[in-house]
Amino acid sequence: MFSTHLGRYLVLLLATTNVFGIEVTDIQGPAFKSPLVGQTVHNLTGIVTAKGPNGFWISGAPVADTRVSNGLSIFTEDDSIIAQVAPGDMVSLSGRVAEFRSNGSPNDLTITEIDNPANIEVASHNNAVEPVIIGRDRSPPTQQLSALDTGGDGFLAVPNNSSRIDVTDATLQPDKFGMDFWESLEGQLVTIPNPVALDFPNSFGEIWVRGDWAVTGLNSRGGLTITLGPDGRPDANPEAVIIGRPLDGTRNPKAFLGVGLSDITGVVVFQFGFFYVLPLSAPSIITTPTPEVPVTTILSSDTDECTLTVGDYNVDNMTPRSPTHVNGVARHIATFLRNPDIVFLQEIQDNTGSTDDGVVIGNLTLSALTTAIASISGVRYNFIEIAPVDNEDGGEPGGNIRQAYIFKPEKFQLVPGFPVGGSLDSTTVVSDVSGGLTFSFNPGRIDPTNAAWIDSRKPLAAAWQTTSGHRFFTVNLHLTSKSGSASTQGDARPPVNLGVDQRTSQIERVSAFVQTILTEDPNANIVVAGDFNEYVQTRSAFTSLQDILFEADEIAGVDPVERYTFLFDQNSEQLDHIFVSGAIRSRGVNVEHIHVNNWANATTVTARPSDHDPSVAEIHLC
Ligand SMILES: *[C@@H]1O[C@H](CO)[C@@H](O)[C@H](O)[C@H]1NC(C)=O
Ligand SMILES: *[C@@H]1O[C@H](CO)[C@@H](O)[C@H](O)[C@H]1NC(C)=O
Ligand SMILES: *[C@@H]1O[C@H](CO)[C@@H](O)[C@H](O)[C@H]1NC(C)=O
Ligand SMILES: *[C@@H]1O[C@H](CO)[C@@H](O)[C@H](O)[C@H]1NC(C)=O
Ligand SMILES: *[C@@H]1O[C@H](CO)[C@@H](O)[C@H](O)[C@H]1NC(C)=O
């Protein structure tokens, strides 16, 4: 490694552990880690760019090599040392070169810094401090995060955590890879012109933004959607960056998706799993997008027997004990989704919510919802559910979340003749007395004792018949969660996508079940929808659905950047999907994602009933 990009330091390293006459850029070098770790440097000079609670940052003389940062963190917790310098001071100092990673963050990258600074001398004051203006001086790449994400699914590839940046310590390729780009500015003062917020602030008031530079995946609200890039690999949106706590103690504003902020100048650091810009001072809100959420254009028809409108909504731990929550979801379904004929619901809690008291039935939760919808719109839904075994399906302890359907009984009913399944009954495809296909338990759960469903929600399958006799089959699913996954900008590459192996086998179980229907009737009308907790760009997880089920967005030709139902970190992303069988696909499908929750303004974020956006589709059964 030294012989390739750091040959000149070899002599220094061998000669002594005390080095003189070096520059900040020598310390940073062109790779992730410093070539001079452990060395004590003397007479290091630079201009102070910013001060923080744990030291200050300097900028040294720049070099033409864009892989090499000329910014550096000078770490000290000694306030008297910090008090000796001010931004604009030309200083010289000595100290030890270190790669710092905070305790308890083994998946973080290290920060190059000088610790134990000493001999601080201020040569002059009020020198010009010139930030790098991103978008003018340097621009981030827009597709990939790391050269180590080598699989076909890029940052979403499996196996995950197959290599580590810290171990490889490759020479940076800042024009190609986002993590390399931000690393090449580590410790440097940068300006983000015209930042636009990509999400609500997190619980620490930190906000993801893009700036005035080229981006890909831009959606109509101003967010960055996970899409497939031109190279056919998932686009990880490396051109976004998170704005941390302002260095002067001011507070970031309550931004939300699409909000325009004043220019941000701050220092690039790595902490809490991501490259951050720590602003000198909090930005202010300059522009806000229109607060209105469009209502769906997909309308239910009582007279068209062939056409069905299908809603899908993860209602986030709904309990009858929170009328505000129930009424909020009811208003969404009645007003913004315009009462679809059937709604696939996920995260319906039992009648006593998260109280861990052995209650599993959720009929009060569902009747509270359907009553609330009726009082808003006059539409009366019936509901069906299968209660899980107490605390066996994951989610909030005691809550017993399950999937359920609400549906318009005057338009269609469950195919009669077979019993409702219990929590451990496995439903199968059978013929009824008329020779038509139905399920042995209707509704019933799919293979509920299979290992794929351990500690996770079992899919709810149902066979339906319209008043004029057309049959269709539905599977409502809620796959195991991603929680505990590694940050997208962490050390492990590709990032650890927790539960992806379980989600993959869950999708395989559903695929096998759907195939048993299609074996009996290749033209069966089948809708599989719900919260998959996975993006279709994680193609390895969806392989088993290939040529069996087709995603509504794909059939409808929805612009890929508008395919999102969730905001997480920098990304607008789609966790919720509606898939249909070939027969339905052949008649055309329409679908819309209604951003009732993720377009919420900052005033309403805490009051929004769910963090998922619902979807509405129109399908034709005949
Ligand atoms: C290097 O720093 C030391 C300690 O601050 C100082 O005494 C010395 O004059 C400096 N040497 C040069 C060449 O600047
Ligand atoms: C992902 O990484 C974790 C942690 O290294 C490992 O336990 C898991 O098996 C990996 N899963 C996949 C699907 O690569
Ligand atoms: C990645 O794998 C290594 C072992 O190779 C393990 O020590 C580390 O914890 C894993 N990282 C994550 C984020 O799971
Ligand atoms: C936020 O939403 C609430 C409720 O819909 C509305 O009253 C308020 O005017 C909105 N505020 C902004 C800044 O859009
Ligand atoms: C809920 O289920 C219980 C037990 O089957 C039943 O007694 C009750 O009437 C149901 N309530 C509603 C509102 O459906």
Which tens digit of pLDDT belongs to each residue from 5-40? 333 343 344 445 777 789 999 999 999 999 999 999
Ligand 4: residue of 293, 604, 606, 608 to mutate (most ligand atoms within 8 A of CB) is: 604
**Sign of the C-alpha dihedral computed for residues 523, 540, 588 and 377 taken in this order:** positive
Q: Is 307-620 assigned to CATH 1.10.10.10?
A: no
Q: Distance, CA 291 to ligand 4 centroid (Å)?
A: 6
Whether ligand 2 lies within 6 angstroms of the CB of 47 is answered as no
Q: The tokens 């195919």 sit on which residue?
A: 415
For the chain, the structural domain boundaries read 10-124, 307-620
Torsion of CA 499, 501, 507, 511, to 10 degrees: -170
Residue 318 scores a pLDDT above 70: yes
Say yes or no to pLDDT of 621 above 70: yes
Name which residue sits closest to atom 8 of ligand 2, judged by CA.
160
Q: CA angle 410-414-418, nearest 5°?
A: 150
Helix (H, G, I), strand (E, B) or coil at 549: coil
- HSE at residue 274, side-chain half, CA atoms within 13 A, is 19
pLDDT of the residue at 603: 67
CA distances from 483 to 159, 201, 248, 486 (A): 18, 19, 33, 9
Asked whether 159 lines ligand 2 (CB < 6 A), one says: yes
For ligand 1, say whether the CB of 17 is within 6 Å of any of its atoms.
no
Cis peptide upstream of residue 253 (ω within 30 degrees of 0): no
Tokens at 359, concatenated: 């209650």
Please give the structure tokens belonging to residue 188: 């440097």
User: What is the C-alpha to C-alpha distance for residues 268 and 332, in angstroms, rounded to an integer?
Assistant: 41
State the Cα–Cα distance between residues 11 and 8, nearest whole angstrom.
6
Asked if 613 contacts 593 with a C-beta cutoff of 8 angstroms, the reply is yes
CB 579 within 8 A of CB 549: yes
Residue 311 confidence (pLDDT) above 70: yes
Q: Which protein residue's CA is at the shortest distance from atom 1 of ligand 2?
A: 160
- Select from 92, 94, 121, 122 the residue to mutate for testing ligand 1; criterion: most ligand atoms less than 8 Å from CB: 92
Parallel, antiparallel, or unpaired for β 571-573 and 566-568? antiparallel
Residue 168 is given by DSSP the state H
Taking 90 as the threshold, does the pLDDT of residue 303 lie above it?
no
> pLDDT by residue (tens digit) across 238-254?
999 999 999 999 999 99
d(CA 380, CA 377) in angstroms, rounded, equals 9
Measured in angstroms, how far is the CA atom of residue 206 from the centroid of ligand 4? 21
pLDDT at 104: 86
Query: What residue owns the CA closest to ligand 4's atom 13?
Result: 601
Ligand 3 atom nearest the C-alpha of 490 is 13
Judge whether residue 150 has pLDDT over 60.
yes
For ligand 5, whether the C-beta of 364 sits within 6 Å is yes
pLDDT per position as a tens digit, 556-575: 999 999 999 999 999 999 99
Read off the pLDDT of each residue in 415-421 and give the average, rounded to a whole number: 97
Could you tell me which of 55, 52, 71 has the C-alpha nearest to residue 115?
A: 55
Residue to mutate, 156, 160, 162, 480, ligand 2, most ligand atoms under 8 Å from C-beta: 160
Q: Which region, left, alpha or beta, applies to residue 455 given φ > 0 means left and ψ of -120 to 50 means alpha?
A: left
Domain 10-124 matches domain 307-620 at the CATH topology level: no
- Structure token pair of residue 436: 């038509």
Percent of the chain with pLDDT over 70: 97
- Within 480-565, strands assigned E span 492-493, 526-531, 550-551
| CB 24 within 8 Å of CB 90 | no
What is the spatial distance between Cα 378 and Cα 403, in angstroms, rounded to a whole number? Answer: 24
Calculate how far, in angstroms, residue 486's C-alpha sits from the geometric centre of ligand 5.
43
pLDDT, one tens digit per residue, over 180-238 is 999 999 999 999 999 999 999 999 999 999 999 999 999 999 999 999 999 999 999 99
Q: What is the CATH number of domain 10-124?
A: 2.40.50.140
Instruction: Say if residue 80's pLDDT is above 90.
Output: yes
Q: Cβ(259)–Cβ(599) under 8 Å? A: no
Mean pLDDT of 502-529: 98
* Spatial distance between the Cα atoms of 606 and 615, rounded to a whole number of angstroms: 21
Ligand 5 centre distance from Cα of residue 355 (Å):
19
Helix, strand, coil content of the chain in percent (nearest 5): 15, 30, 55
Q: Which residues line ligand 4 (CB under 6 A)?
A: 288, 291, 601, 603-604
Atom of ligand 3 nearest to the CA of 161: 1
pLDDT for position 601: 76
